[in-house]
Structure 1
Amino acid sequence: MSLTLEIMRIFLPLVLVCGIAVFVVLRMIHKTKKGTLGKKKTRGAQNLLDSLIPLGMVIGFIAAIFVSLLLPIALLSSIAWGPGIGLLFGYFAYEIYSKKKKIIHNDSFP
């Protein structure tokens, strides 16, 4: 029984992070084929938008190291979880930042 639990502890982070990575890649492929990737007007805003996903992974990696230092979690396990969760948060930040603001025109006012 303990061997099974040990194998689960080893492979569970790998399987979940791989699932997150496949989800993000497939969503970006879908957005590319559909033509709905986020586009910003200025070059600086577009650079920020393009760097949100890698930046999320770097921040997740750094956070994982700090969590591993402060809590009794193995360093290798936290290094597996950190960039994966950062990838997911970076993707969500990309989705939120790439939304175009809708301007509501109200014709009832003169």
Structure 2
Amino acid sequence: MGGFLSRCLLDFFVAFGVVLGGTMLAGICAVLTLEPPIYRMTSVAEQIKIWAMVAAIGGTIDPIRAIETHFIEGHVSPAIKQILYIVCAFAGAHMGSTIIQWICKGGNNP
């Protein structure tokens, strides 16, 4: 169980970090190009979520193929674990995007 929980946390934080890091770098780029960083950061935060999930789970085809193979062979437990890894990666990417949205909206409100 420790390995499963460890992998879930790793997927969560990798996706979270990809969203935060990519968005912060996009904000720096916006400042350097004299654009408003709030708009650039919020758009990048939404656009990068799927790629953060892909980076966290290690690819798009292999996890889906693993789910299919396990279901066809009748091994439900490994397939459910793979689905939970994807859910954890989604949760991390979504939380990173939500934090960026909060930060950017906080800059607009006095």
Range into which the TM-score falls when normalised by the shorter chain: 0.3 to 0.5
Greater Cα radius of gyration, structure 1 or 2: 1
Q: TM-score, normalization: structure 2? A: 0.42
Q: TM-score, normalization: structure 1? A: 0.42
- Choose between structure 1 and 2: higher helix proportion: 2
